[in-house]
Structures are given as C-alpha cells and as structure tokens.
Structure 1
Amino acid sequence: MLASDSTVRTPRKTQSSLSNPSSTSNNYAGTELFESARKRQTKRDDQIRKKIEVDLKKKSNLPSFNANNNNSLSSPTKKNRYATPGSVMTLKPSEAIICRPTNTVFEAAQLMSVTKENCVLVVDDNEELLGIFTAKDLAFRIVGSNLNANQTTIDHIMTPNPMCAKTSTMASEALNLMVTKGFRHLPVINDLNQIVGVLDITKCYNEAMTKLERMYESSKKLYDAMEGVNAEIGVSNQPVHVIRYFENLKNLINGPTLNTVLDQRTTPIYCDIKSSVYDAAILMKENRTTAVLVKDIKNNDEVSGIFTSKDIVLRVIAAGIDPRSCSVIRVMTSKPSYSLSDASVHQALRQMFEGKYLNLPVVDNESNEIIGIVDVLKLTYHTLSQIQSMQMINGGSESEAGSNNEEKEGPAWNKFWTSMDNETESLHSSTSHSQDVTQSEL
C-alpha cells in the first residue's frame, strides 16, 4: 500500500504541458518558456554538484576522488589503455568511478552526481572488482525499499561479481554480450582483475553512429569531387564502400517508428505532484521503470513533469533530502520533451542524445495523447538488434575478392563497430571539452 492515495497509474494522458523541440507547432514564445525552464533546472543541478564536490574533497575514504593539480577530481584507476585493434579498448571505455564496499549509498550517490555517471564500481584494497552499483539500484533497492542511504553500505545492495570484459576481449564480442544480456554497463579489467574502464552501450552506439556519419560525409564529398575526373585517375573504392554501407544502414534504421517498440512495458506510469519521492520510487520498482510522469489532478490531470532515477540520485539522495518528506514537484524536470509516435527510432535516439536525457514520452499523432514512454537503453537495443541481423552488402559481383572482403569485414554488426578504430581522431577526445555533460549521463 502506498503512503499517498494521490499516487495512481493511468494508461493514457494528454500532453498539453510537454515540449517537442523538433515540432513546428510550438510557437516562439512557448519554445522560449521551455528553454528558460531547462536553463533554470540546469543551474540548480550545477549548484548541487558544486556543493557535493566541496563535500567530497573533505573526505579521505573515497578512492575515486583526490584533488589533482588542476583542482579537479580524478580516478586512480587509470591503467595502460593501449588499444589492440578490434579489442574493447578501441571503444574507449569511460574512466570508472570507484568506491569501497564500506562506503555508504549516500557517498556513492555523491560520486555519481558530481561525475555525471550512472554507475559506480566497487573495489577492494587491491583495486580488484567486487561489484557494481547503478542509479537504478539506488531507486529500487534503497528508496523503493525504504532503506536509509546514510546508514546502508554499498556491499549490502551492490550486484556482486558482475560480468566483465578483459582488455583483450574483441569489441564485437563484448557488445554482443551486453545486447543479449540486457546490460547497459560492462566493466573492463586487465589480467590482474584491476579495473581499466567501463563500457556504456548507449555511449558506444552514439559514438559509432556519429563516426559513421562523419565518415559517410567525408567519403561522399570525395566521391562527388572525383566523379568528373578522368577515369585514368580512378576513384578510390573506399568512399564507394563506405557510402553504400552507410546508405544501406541508414535505410534500415530509419524504417521502424516508435509505434513498433511500444508494448506493455512502455505504458506510462503517473504520480501526482503531491506524491512523495518515496511513493514515486515504489511505482518505479513495481513497474520496473526508471521514470514516472507527474500530473496535476487539480488541473485536469495535466502532465507537469517527469521524474527519473537519475533525479533521485542527484536531487534527492546526494542532496541529502529525505525521500519520504520530499514531494516530486520539488525535484522533477518540468515540461519534459516528447516525440511523436510516427518518428523513427533513430530520430528519437538522436533527440535523446542531443537533449542528454534517458526517458522520452511518446505522443500519438492522431489522439494527441501520451501512449508510452521509452528509455534510451530500449531504443539502443532495438537498433543494435537490427544492425546485428543485417548482412554486409558488397558492391559488384560475387567475386573471390568480394568474398574475401566479406569474410574479413564480417556482417554489418562488426563493420558498424570497427568504424570506431577506422577514424584517426577519437570522437571522445574531440568532444570531451565541448560538452558539459558526459554521454554516459544520458
């Protein structure tokens, strides 16, 4: 039984207070209002993080945080990150955020908040991996179970002995494991069982797709420039190869719409603006979701915002707020963005990556009602499953050379991931200074 009768589940709800940044129906004033609300929320979140960072620097029991010469915070888990071609290291695993099993959940939430990460790896005194703890675990196992984050240590609620990839593991093998097992995060360890980094499947997909798009644009320009040149000079086969591959890939992933991925598990869950964070976390746990929509029963059940497991980590637990006494309206994200149901899955993913959010309400084109809410992980898995089933399409006849190329390249699944180490400049290094939010925070 929930603590508040105002917390309810309804199957559909109007979208009058949602925002669609890609919709032309939003007028300029409305767009300005949404942008203003987002900026205010971002400013409040940054203030929370700054306060947490000051608090963390005073603590000596958190191995992930030691002040360096730039007065920023760094992890001691940096190992030899040489990338063997085709290995998981070519995917450029994120630097892991680590803690000890004796650290409290409150301290782990602080670590995740200030680093904008969604998981923490738990290690012993030798830096050997013991377990993993995520934002979803905090919402379900702590707040949703009415446990005290300040009194509960990580070893009681972490997932022990998580599956890992070795630095020598092939990238396609590790990513296939993540898709088939439904993992978002996969720790990467060396031969001494020490942590080298952590893979995030959503980040890997976004970086691979972005690089493919970049390669496609470069190859297309080269191909177009060479088109009028004398045949004696010739045209490199690589641009044609990349162009054909990417266009086939684009046609594949642009096909399915959000309607095709909606099911019972994507049915939107609602709570009232007066519901407590504890009530909302129970709804998340019972319905196995990381987000609930917040409605105002006094205003025709208008959807006023969205509240997620990431909000629980940063705005509630890490901020030192009691989940039972805090109403969701204080910590929700107001006027959430949405996507229309006829949008492609790829378009929705792009919207989520650019907007840096995990969950996206889906609105029916005809009824103008919310018919679902999807998360970035579900859409990523759906797209990767399509790519995995797609076979490499080679140009020309089935020649011996063509067969050898296909054998070498493998199916489109491998081709997709090998784009990560085909490009000279790392996307990770080229974007790390331009973004104020890490991709793994998505």
Structure 2
Amino acid sequence: MSSQGGSRRSQKRAPSTSKRTSSSENGGNLSKPPSPQGESSSSVGGAGGERTVKKLRLSKALTIPEGTIVSDACRRMASRRVDAVLLTDANALLSGIVTDKDITTRVIAEGLRPDQTVVSKIMTRNPIFVTSDSLAIEALQKMVQGKFRHLPVVENGEVIAILDITKCLYDAISRMEKAAEQGSAIAAAVEGVERQWGSNFSAPYAFIETLRERMFKPSLSTIITENAKVAIVSPSDPVAVAAKKMREFRSNSALIVTGSKIQGILTSKDVLMRVVAQNLSPELTLVEKVMTSNPECATMETTILDALHIMHDGKFLHLPVIDKDGGVAACLDVLQITHAAISMVKSFNFCCNGFAVTICVVLKWNKICLS
C-alpha cells in the first residue's frame, strides 16, 4: 500500500487550499472526474440512492508548507491524530501528500533523520483527488486501484477535506450484504428446484454447489496465496529494523512473533505517532515498547464480509490471519480485503445471470429426461 506513490499522469493545475481556482484531475474535468478505468458509477451495483463523498464524515485536511521539517510535520499530525498531511507550494496550491507509510519507509527505513529532512523530499507529488459530489464507492475504487488510503476532496477548485478509506468501508460492507441477501434468495430458489425435482436434479448439482459456495461465502483463504510474505520481527528488534522490513515487503505493518505465535503488531501509524512524534530514536526503541499487543486475528475460514466488519468495528487497518495451528498465515490490510469485496460484488451480476441460465438449462434438461 503506498501513499499514492507510483506512476500517474500529472495534473495540469493543482487545486488550491486557500482560494478557489479552476482545476483538473489528471487532465480530466474537475466537476465530474472519470470513474476508475473508465467504468460508470453503476458498474459496481448502480448509482441510485448511493452516498456521495460530501455525505461522509470528512476530516478537515491538515495542510502545511512543503518546506516543513518531517519531525515538525509528525508532531502536528499526532496532535490532530491524523496519518496524512497535504502539502502546499509557495502559491498555496496543493503540491503533494505525505502519509504514515512515507514516514516509515522513506525516512526511518532509509536511515534519514526526521529533524533534518524536509517533507518535500518524501512527499508524493500531484496526488489524485476526488470531488465532493463523487460517489463514495467511486472514491473507494480509486483508492483500491491506486493502492492508497487517502484522497484529497475538492469542491469548486478548493481542497475542503481529506477522505480516509475507513470512511468508505460502510459502503463496501453495505454492497456485500446486499449481494449476500440476493445470493440467499438465489440459493433458496435452487433449493426449491432441488425439492421439486429430487433425485432427477443431479447432473449439474456439483457445479451449482461449487458456484454457490464461491459466490456467497468467499473466505479469506480465497485471497491468501500459499507462502504469503509477511513482515515479521521479534520483540527485541529496534523500530528501525521493523521499518526496513515494512519497506522490503511493501507493507504498512510488521507482526511481532515469538516462536510461531503472534505477540503484537507494529504499523506505520505506530511509527509516526509513538516514535517519531514522541522524538524517540528508531534505532534505540524496541518494537515491544510501541507495538499493539495481542491484536485481534482472523482465520483462513473468516469470510471477507466478516473481515470487513471486524476492521470497521475495531477501527483498525490491518488484520493478522492465523492458520489452523495458530501460526502466521498472512497479514491483510484494508485495501486487500476491500479489493476482494469490490471484485466479488462486481462479478455478482454476472454470476447471478449464470445461475439463472443454469437453472433454466437444468429444468429443461430434466424435463427432457423425464418425458
């Protein structure tokens, strides 16, 4: 997960943080930015009655000059309890964004001193943004596809807030629950056909059972690859070592493990809030002093929907997953799980159509066999 890093087309003109100006996102129309990958807002389930970004509980953006020292930026972020800050140039135009991951992987992991590094050196320039009238699910898609958790929100050319992915989780959960409800209705219809035809409903039965299970009860095991890479450190390792592990594994977190058991988790936000903002030395501070002990874990059988609920209710962004023996299987972040949820919902209509066609074929096939 990056702080909006990676390749992208540059904006023609950045939005202002203090005055209204005309602006564009990646060369597009500011008032109605294109949906991700050219999709319409209805491509994931329809736009009717859906929430717009302005209806979410937006956080007022913390904005600082791009010449600010990293240590000062971290203290200001900690005082506001935010993990992202917007940067402005000399003309008060949005020039970049810095997040907790940037602090961890671009400062601490690189051995830079926070009190001697300016934020412009580590910021992501020309961040992607959304307008306040964009659909919340569109904003969520942008974050998932771009692999970042924060989006500046623009209204009439002016940055009015910053959107965190956690504010969009409700929309992802709502979509999955609706899909599950429709799936249950289809499953009931299938069971009705089974009762009607009894033993004659046998030829495509295995296919329908497999499709139904994969569609309506996808578990975390479906998105965890074998030998998944996890950043793991010991309790006695310094924070600097954990930061390097996070950079190596392109992760926002590291698990603290003793033997095969998870003792704690250290996230990039912990590094920002509990180390840099407190003026502690990453080289001398042990992870056991600043980690979150005994984090809530999921199992391979936990459903994607339940995982979203766990993260939404617990207000955390990382979910360790254990195997049947209690060992580490993976550590999923909110983007990975949300991506899985969106993918499931996007394929739902296709699978529903597949179910309908299959049922029709089955009924016709059985009718022919019985005639």
Q: TM-score, normalised by structure 1?
A: 0.57
Flag the structure with more relative contact order, 1 or 2, with Cα contacts below 8 A and sequence separation at least 6: 1
Query: In the TM superposition, what whole-angstrom CA distance separates every residue of 1:376-422 from its partner, at most 9, and x where no partner exists?
Result: 2210121122223333989xxxxxxxxxxxxxxxxxxxxxxxxxxxx
**Residues 23-62 of structure 1: pairs in structure 2 closer than 5 A:** none
Work out whether residues 260 and 327 of structure 2, in 8 Å CA contact, stay in contact via their aligned partners in 1.
no
Within 2, Cα distance between the matches of 1:205 and 1:158?
26
Matched, 1:311 2:270: yes
Cα offset, 1:171, TM superposition:
4.7
Partner of 2:126: 161
Cα offset, 1:301, TM superposition:
5.6
2:161 counterpart (187, 197, 209) = 197
Within 2, Cα distance between the matches of 1:339 and 1:353?
14
Work out whether residues 77 and 96 of structure 1, in 8 Å CA contact, stay in contact via their aligned partners in 2.
no
Give unmatched runs, 5+ long, in structure 1: 1-75, 217-241, 395-442
Query: In the TM superposition, what whole-angstrom CA distance separates every residue of 1:222-280 from its partner, at most 9, and x where no partner exists?
Result: xxxxxxxxxxxxxxxxxxxx9759978xx988511111111268432221222111111
Amino acid at match of 1:206: Y
SS of 2:272's partner is helix
SS of 2:114's partner is coil
SS of 2:237's partner is coil
Within 2, Cα distance between the matches of 1:207 and 1:316?
33
Work out whether residues 137 and 171 of structure 2, in 8 Å CA contact, stay in contact via their aligned partners in 1.
no
Matched, 1:176 2:141: yes
% of aligned pairs identical?
Answer: 32
Partner of 1:287: 249
Partner of 2:339: 381
1:110 counterpart (62, 75, 84) = 75
CA shift in 2, pair 1:178/1:352, >3 Å: closer
Cα offset, 1:129, TM superposition:
1.0
Work out whether residues 185 and 199 of structure 1, in 8 Å CA contact, stay in contact via their aligned partners in 2.
yes
Work out whether residues 127 and 195 of structure 1, in 8 Å CA contact, stay in contact via their aligned partners in 2.
no
CA shift in 2, pair 1:179/1:198, >3 Å: same
SS of 2:288's partner is helix
CA shift in 2, pair 1:107/1:388, >3 Å: farther
Work out whether residues 135 and 313 of structure 1, in 8 Å CA contact, stay in contact via their aligned partners in 2.
yes
Within 2, Cα distance between the matches of 1:92 and 1:77?
21
Work out whether residues 218 and 304 of structure 2, in 8 Å CA contact, stay in contact via their aligned partners in 1.
yes
**Residues 13-162 of structure 1: pairs in structure 2 closer than 5 A:** 87-124=52-89, 127-162=92-127
Within 1, Cα distance between the matches of 2:268 and 2:306?
24
Work out whether residues 173 and 308 of structure 2, in 8 Å CA contact, stay in contact via their aligned partners in 1.
no
Cα offset, 1:117, TM superposition:
2.1
Cα offset, 1:155, TM superposition:
0.8
Within 2, Cα distance between the matches of 1:77 and 1:115?
20
Within 1, Cα distance between the matches of 2:341 and 2:290?
32
CA shift in 2, pair 1:163/1:304, >3 Å: same
Partner of 1:369: 327
Within 1, Cα distance between the matches of 2:332 and 2:137?
26
Cα offset, 1:357, TM superposition:
1.9
Work out whether residues 266 and 374 of structure 1, in 8 Å CA contact, stay in contact via their aligned partners in 2.
no
SS of 1:360's partner is strand
Work out whether residues 137 and 168 of structure 2, in 8 Å CA contact, stay in contact via their aligned partners in 1.
no
Within 2, Cα distance between the matches of 1:206 and 1:188?
18
Work out whether residues 252 and 386 of structure 1, in 8 Å CA contact, stay in contact via their aligned partners in 2.
no
SS of 2:236's partner is coil
SS of 1:381's partner is helix
Amino acid at match of 2:163: L
Cα offset, 1:128, TM superposition:
2.3
Work out whether residues 256 and 264 of structure 2, in 8 Å CA contact, stay in contact via their aligned partners in 1.
yes
Within 1, Cα distance between the matches of 2:150 and 2:290?
26
Give unmatched runs, 5+ long, in structure 2: 1-16, 21-48, 187-212, 354-371
Partner of 1:413: none
Pairwise CA RMSD: 3.5
SS of 2:342's partner is helix
Work out whether residues 71 and 277 of structure 2, in 8 Å CA contact, stay in contact via their aligned partners in 1.
yes
Cα offset, 1:174, TM superposition:
3.8
SS of 1:391's partner is helix
Within 1, Cα distance between the matches of 2:117 and 2:215?
44
SS of 1:313's partner is helix
Matched, 1:348 2:313: no
Work out whether residues 77 and 95 of structure 1, in 8 Å CA contact, stay in contact via their aligned partners in 2.
no
Amino acid at match of 1:327: L
Partner of 2:231: 269
Partner of 2:358: none
SS of 1:150's partner is helix
Write out the 4+ residue segments of structure 1 that deviate beyond 6 Å after TM superposition. 76-79, 245-248
Q: TM-score, normalised by structure 2?
A: 0.67
Cα offset, 1:185, TM superposition:
1.5
Within 1, Cα distance between the matches of 2:85 and 2:145?
22
CA shift in 2, pair 1:173/1:304, >3 Å: closer
**Residues 408-427 of structure 1: pairs in structure 2 closer than 5 A:** none
CA shift in 2, pair 1:189/1:245, >3 Å: farther
Cα offset, 1:136, TM superposition:
0.8
